[in-house]
A and B are shown apart, each in its own frame.
Chain A
């Protein structure tokens, strides 16, 4: 597809409503201010340092193989320290690599809906991360997309490529300054896991009650490749709708998604995960934990489509209700198109069991402490597939997010 054709398709989809989520008036938001580049992350204004930390970003860059920071619509910091790792803005990457254009809109269709179209037509940066063939970048790359100006429409296009037999670990945070009352984040992310490669992607969304968010992510996994996603959202958000999709196209391709959502305030979330198992023996596991309290409304979708011989997919979604004015819709779906495969799901929505509270109280906790232990336990999914140090760090970030809510 030529650039011209891409633009034409985007133009035609400009008014195309998304399949899910309420329609957002994109035109309310403007392209944000431009910001000066930084020499180090420490130079990022003091008032935002805590927000960076909350989004899992280590300002000292200790134990990181690279860092990327985009403020509103400007990439203000980008550096790769590890040999075999490439990290820069998508714009720069397209200038550097002529072949990269072939990866654009290959996993996510440009005319999927008005949001993908708008990212094509009004793109403001995004990151490009690539590990060279055979290179294991064991220390994580950190990236952060940060909004500091009111009424900003941040529209990023991210491309992540793990070349054959390489390994990439990414910690990424999306965050917003306390001063922002309303803003829009459109994020297209396309991941390519080549033969025998592995990507782990740990994402913390640290939004605020005025944020409207429409991520559009897809992953293409080749033979023996693995993609592991950990997603954490603990802060309120006005409206978030996403449906990241993994295409396991190669033999024995594997995809794992773990989603942890604590929805409070007037949060509205429609969050799905889809795995398309095309490759022979490909596997997927989708795990989600959702807590809804206050007036929060959460639709938790999951979908596994089995097409390949001996494909195996499992969905496990659990919801916990803490208020009578909240809502959880749990919608697991399975679709099989051949006989040699195995798909399953378990879904449950419930309350904090009285019996569990009493049990903990009989070991000396107050009712409040007991409830908090149960909630933390509920959200405590095993973070699998990460190197030990990163797993520990992810756990720490996770605990930090939990501190705020329980």
Chain B
């Protein structure tokens, strides 16, 4: 579904990602670990086509289409979606309006459809009427993002830190909806959606199963492997040690 080849990305003249390669197939969910500043968010923003993220080399193919130079909304039309970590506030635009927009509806009222969808995330009508992200708590931002994705129903979804600032109760709820959005409840052969989850703490991984995990260091994917193993190594030993272990086991394999 998504193929990233030799990707190099600059942000305001500074190289953040170098020669990155990653393939995500239909039905797969990948998780990406990495310390702050390693380029995780840059990768997502680049995949979504935000103008400040300049691809200086390499290419991105999505569903067989070279999207390297496509504007964001055309990528979205092709089936991409994103849950932002720090989405901007927009005054006068309500969360309910965003749900209508995400659903591609011209509807201007917050109707029963929107209310029913919101209910699944314990979001009240009152909350739907609030200006999007204005004064939202960390957990509210996440639920609002996931609600918009439910409405949008993309084929490939990126989640930027869906677990940061979320309390225990809500993290489980978010995990359930993410699993549904990513076809995790279906038989592997029936899964059509794909996803890429960025997590710093890894706590969301207790609630959603991934197929593959990667550790990103200094703008590159430093190691890849089975999610359980990588998660355990990252949590127990830290990113760099995990990468060292990863490299050593590769050397053992080579011998």
Contacts and interface: CB of A to CB of B under 8 A. Distances in A.
Contact of A380 (B72, B84, B92): B92
A362 B72 contact: yes
A373 B106 CA distance: 11
A364 B104 contact: yes
Interface of A: 318, 353-356, 358-367, 373-374, 376-381
Given A360-B90, A380-B92, 12 more contacts: A318-B91, A355-B88, A358-B51, A360-B101, A361-B76, A364-B76, A364-B102, A365-B101, A367-B71, A367-B73, A373-B97, A377-B91
A377 B90 contact: yes
19 contacts: A353-B88, A354-B51, A356-B88, A359-B90, A361-B73, A361-B76, A362-B73, A362-B82, A363-B76, A363-B102, A364-B77, A364-B102, A365-B73, A366-B73, A367-B73, A377-B93, A377-B131, A380-B92, A381-B92
Interface of chain A, helix or strand or loop or mixed?
Answer: helix
Pairs of residues from A and B, 4 with the lowest C-beta to C-beta distance, nearest first: A377-B92, A380-B92, A377-B93, A361-B72
Please indicate which of the listed interface residues B48, B51, B81, B90 has the most CB atoms of chain A within 10 Å of its own CB.
B90
A53 B88 CA distance: 37
B78 to A, nearest CB: 11
Nearest to B52: A354
Interface in B27-74: 48, 50-51, 71-73
Nearest to A289: B92
Contacts of A364: 73, 76-77, 101-102, 104, 152
A31 B6 CA distance: 77
B171 interface: no
A361 B71 contact: yes
Contacts of A366: 71, 73
Please indicate which of the listed interface residues A360, A366, A374 has the most CB atoms of chain B within 10 Å of its own CB.
A360
B48 A362 contact: yes
A379 B90 CA distance: 12
B72 A356 contact: no
B224 interface: no
Nearest to B86: A355
A350 to B, nearest CB: 11
Contacts of A355: 88
Contacts of B102: 363-364
B166 interface: no
Please indicate which of the listed interface residues B48, B84, B93 has the most CB atoms of chain A within 10 Å of its own CB.
B93
Contact of B92 (A354, A361, A365, A376): A376
A356 B132 CA distance: 11
A376 B92 CA distance: 7
Contacts of B73: 361-362, 364-367
A353 B104 CA distance: 22
Contacts of B72: 358, 361-362
